[in-house]
């Protein structure tokens, strides 16, 4: 089979045509034909050899973790799926440690040992290839109605897991809460999908991002009934002055300096959600003492989240179906670049546009 691969040892990228086609052997397994794969910052880092681990016995890793596929074959015990079904596979697979309670409860996103594997990232081939074999229980079924948008399910699961967790944490406030004021920082795909998820929850949403209007990110923001503020025009304090108590901040830039500067505008009893992985940076001019004092006096929570479980995937599929009904043009506007498999290195090198995808088959 053809596959877009990275050779981490040799610092090489390319499309090869001799990836072994996987055979369906498990009675509870399924075989997928991959339709589309999204590209994100994680892929760009793997393509620049920052991380990415091939499966045992391979010199290369097939890339891609944001998959969308069609079932072509099912094992005799995979009775919940049939050929022709559209699915999004989850990304992480459990570790083998019998003592890892999260993995033994199918919550590898909370794995305790770090021995988990991830398609297209860590120890398992990804989805930028023709066929994939996997267990049926890792497939989340997608309605035909959102076929054109389903490649956005995986990046939306970041927000869905965050908001499921935030909702549970904010149960600490023992009264019926009115619709929250939410701030989304960063208008990339993770930020804009998060903004949409907050809008369907009835939140008033402000998206705060670098780009100045006119910009397609700002247009999408306004189309979903949210407010857009450019960080080039307003400081965080100026932006927050026009909002009320900010109950939730969803940080989707992965920039440590930006994240810390926004902690100051989080309101009383609020929750601040980190989703980025900025790596080692020392934010400049941060007074840690004032930060902790401020957080304590305002009863604030910090939540950081990675990966997602089945509940977040199912919620993402339901929400994306709702987004496609409410804002079809805005959802369509998120996918700004479509590439053939042979062209996969182009979106690995540039960050232009909002979401780039690889078209595997149609």
CB of 53 to Zn ion, least distance (A): 16
42 scored as a contact of Zn ion (CB under 5 A): yes
Are 114 and 103 a contacting pair, CB within 8 Å?
no
CB of 250 to Zn ion, least distance (A): 16
Span near Zn ion by CB under 5 A; candidates 41-49, 202-210, 244-252, 262-270: 41-49
Question: By C-beta, is 51 or 328 nearer to Zn ion?
Answer: 51
Q: What is the DSSP letter of 281?
A: -
Span near Zn ion by CB under 5 A; candidates 59-67, 140-148, 213-221, 349-357: 59-67
CB of 276 to Zn ion, least distance (A): 12
Question: By C-beta, is 189 or 267 nearer to Zn ion?
Answer: 189
290 scored as a contact of Zn ion (CB under 5 A): no
Nearest partner of 89 among 149, 133, 147, judged by Cα:
133
CB of 349 to Zn ion, least distance (A): 16
The interface with Zn ion within residues 301-340 (CB under 5 A) comprises: none
CB of 104 to Zn ion, least distance (A): 8
Please work out the total of residues on this chain that contact Zn ion, with binding judged by CB under 5 A. 8
Gap between the Cα atoms of 206 and 191, Å rounded: 11
Gap between the Cα atoms of 45 and 4, Å rounded: 15
Question: By C-beta, is 41 or 301 nearer to Zn ion?
Answer: 41
Please give the sequence-ordered ranges of beta strands (E in DSSP) within the chain, or none if there are none: 3-7, 12-16, 29-39, 61-62, 66-74, 86-89, 92-93, 117-119, 123-124, 131-135, 139-142, 181-185, 204-209, 227-230, 248-251, 271-274, 301-304, 335-340, 355-359
CB of 39 to Zn ion, least distance (A): 8
Span near Zn ion by CB under 5 A; candidates 39-47, 124-132, 197-205, 340-348: 39-47
Nearest partner of 273 among 324, 197, 332, judged by Cα:
197
Q: What is the DSSP letter of 231?
A: T
62 scored as a contact of Zn ion (CB under 5 A): no
185 scored as a contact of Zn ion (CB under 5 A): no
Give all strands of the β-sheet with 123-124 in edge-to-edge order: 92-93, 117-119, 123-124
40 scored as a contact of Zn ion (CB under 5 A): yes
CB of 307 to Zn ion, least distance (A): 10
Nearest partner of 299 among 188, 178, 207, 172, judged by Cα:
172
Question: By C-beta, is 243 or 252 nearer to Zn ion?
Answer: 252
Nearest partner of 360 among 93, 32, 58, 59, judged by Cα:
32
Rounded (to 5) percent helix, strand, coil in the chain: 35, 25, 40
Gap between the Cα atoms of 235 and 60, Å rounded: 45
Question: By C-beta, is 100 or 183 nearer to Zn ion?
Answer: 100
Question: By C-beta, is 111 or 266 nearer to Zn ion?
Answer: 111
Q: What is the DSSP letter of 248?
A: E
CB of 41 to Zn ion, least distance (A): 7
Question: By C-beta, is 111 or 357 nearer to Zn ion?
Answer: 111
CA–CA distance from 153 to each of 142, 230, 242, 244 (Å)? 9, 27, 32, 31
Give the orientation angle of helix 310-326 with respect to helix 153-169, to 10 degrees. Answer: 110
CB of 181 to Zn ion, least distance (A): 28
The interface with Zn ion within residues 69-128 (CB under 5 A) comprises: 95, 100, 103, 111, 113
Using only the alpha carbons of the chain, give its radius of gyration.
21
Question: By C-beta, is 95 or 263 nearer to Zn ion?
Answer: 95
Question: By C-beta, is 106 or 342 nearer to Zn ion?
Answer: 106
Contact set with Zn ion (CB under 5 A):
40, 42, 66, 95, 100, 103, 111, 113
């Amino acid at each position: 089979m053809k596959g877009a691969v990275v050779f981490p040892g040799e610092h090489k990228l390319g499309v090869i045509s001799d990836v072994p086609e996987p055979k369906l052997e498990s009675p509870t397994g399924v075989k997928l034909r991959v339709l589309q794969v999204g590209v994100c910052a994680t892929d760009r880092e793997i393509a620049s050899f920052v991380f990415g681990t091939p499966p045992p016995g391979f010199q290369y890793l097939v890339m891609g973790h944001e998959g969308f596929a069609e079932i072509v074959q099912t094992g005799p015990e995979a009775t919940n799926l049939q050929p022709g079904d559209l699915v999004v596979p989850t990304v992480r697979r459990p570790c083998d440690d019998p003592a890892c309670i999260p993995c033994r409860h199918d919550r590898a996103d909370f794995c305790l040992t770090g021995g988990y594997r991830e398609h297209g990232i860590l120890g398992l081939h990804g989805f930028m290839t023709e066929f994939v074999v996997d267990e049926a229980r890792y497939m989340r079924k997608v309605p035909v109605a959102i076929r054109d948008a389903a490649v956005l399910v995986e990046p939306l699961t970041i927000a869905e897991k965050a908001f499921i967790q935030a909702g549970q944490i904010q149960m600490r406030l023992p009264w019926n809460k009115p619709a929250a004021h939410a701030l989304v920082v960063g208008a990339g795909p993770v930020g804009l999908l998060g903004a949409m998820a907050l809008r369907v929850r009835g939140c008033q949403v402000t998206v705060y991002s670098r780009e100045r209007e006119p910009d397609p990110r700002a247009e999408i923001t306004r189309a979903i009934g949210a407010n857009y503020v450019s960080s080039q025009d307003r400081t965080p304090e100026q932006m927050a002055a026009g909002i009320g108590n900010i109950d939730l901040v969803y940080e989707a830039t992965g920039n440590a300096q930006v994240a810390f500067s926004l902690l100051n505008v989080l309101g009383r009893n609020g929750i601040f959600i980190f989703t980025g992985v900025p790596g080692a940076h020392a934010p400049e001019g941060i007074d840690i003492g004032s930060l902790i004092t401020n957080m304590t006096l305002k009863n604030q929570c910090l939540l950081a989240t990675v990966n997602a479980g089945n509940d977040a995937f199912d919620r993402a599929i339901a929400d994306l179906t709702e987004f496609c009904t409410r804002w079809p043009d805005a959802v369509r506007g998120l996918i700004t670049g479509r590439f053939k498999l042979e062209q996969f290195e182009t979106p690995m090198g540039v960050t232009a546009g909002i979401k780039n995808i690889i078209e595997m088959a149609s």
